[in-house]
Amino acid sequence: MMKIRYVLLLIVGIVLLACQENTEKKEWTKSNLLFEDSGTEDWTSKWMLDGKRSKVINSKDGMELIAGPEHGNDTCHTVLWTKQRFSGNICIEYDYTRTDTTTRCVNILYFHASGQGDAEYPSDIALWNHKRKVPHMRTYFNHMNAYHISYAAFDAHQYSGDNDYISARRYNPAIKGLKGTMIGERRWKTGMFKPNVSYHISVYRFHKQIEMHIQNKADSKDRKVYTWNASMFPTCEYGRIGLRHMYTRNARYKNFKVWKIE
């Protein structure tokens, strides 16, 4: 009798797990195009830049974001922000090509980013662009509400070979610092984001679910999907999208689009 009960419980558990996986793998519908930039025209019409020593170069190949060259010098960090703000459930997609070869430091995608909402750091981060001329990391995670995905990411201090990682965070000014901001676990050795290889990236934020789909554009079999459940964190509902490069990191972006999803 006990064996039968155990088998039944096991079956129920498998069914519930399958239902959960099916929910996570739901294909959302792109219902409305909210933003589009080919990357080939003047970037200043749709973006704003944090960082004194970075530069953005438009060409027929896309928009290259180049951080400053000095490792360890915070003036060499950079963040490129959309001027437009977005709300609710969205898909962010773009072609991404690393144009650096280093194995230190990270790229970060910010989304639904807003200020902490007081007089010093208003919700509209454009009102305190002057505070980010030197883009210290702490200015962002201490004073913004935002989702954050690190990718093409390595240890900030030492060369890491192929030991890259992907991770997600939810910044919360109420707690200050990075402790308690990690969503799920860090995933190591992705095998993706090789220099001078183009990948199509799609990031979905649907309520508390976040997914990053990565597809090598030259190899249909080279594809990975990373998912995060952010239900343990307060929801970010509105704000800008940002592309952060730590010092020495460079990459090219093309066909950048933001969709409303249902």
Query: What domain range includes position 238?
Result: 45-261
Residue 8 domain flag: no
Instruction: Specify if 99 maps to a domain.
Output: yes
Is pLDDT above 80 for 197?
yes
Residue 4 clears pLDDT 90, i.e. is over it = no
Over residues 28-53, the mean pLDDT reads 97
Interatomic CA distance for residues 57 and 55, integer angstroms = 7
From first CA to last CA, the distance across the chain in angstroms is 46
pLDDT score, position 257: 99
Please count the structural domains in the chain.
1
In the chain, the amino acid numbered 123 is S
On whether residue 203 sits in a domain, the answer given is yes
Arithmetic mean of pLDDT over the chain: 92
> Sorting pLDDT into bands at 50, 70 and 90, what band is 26?
low
Residue 5 resides in a domain? no
Within-domain flag for 7: no
Give the CATH number of the domain where residue 74 resides.
Answer: 2.60.120.560
pLDDT tens digits, 150-172: 999 999 999 999 999 999 999 99
Provide the pLDDT for residue 27.
80
Which of 9-13, 174-178, 248-252 is the least confident region? 9-13
What distance in Å separates the CA atoms of residue 238 and residue 127, rounded to the nearest whole number?
16
pLDDT at 177: 94
Contact 165, 131 (CB under 8 A): no
Residue 62, both tokens: 């896309």
Q: What mean pLDDT do residues 115-119 have? A: 97
pTM over 0.75: yes
Tokens, residue 74 = 């915070």
- Name the one residue in this structure whose structure tokens are 């952010």: 230
Mean pLDDT of 198-208: 98
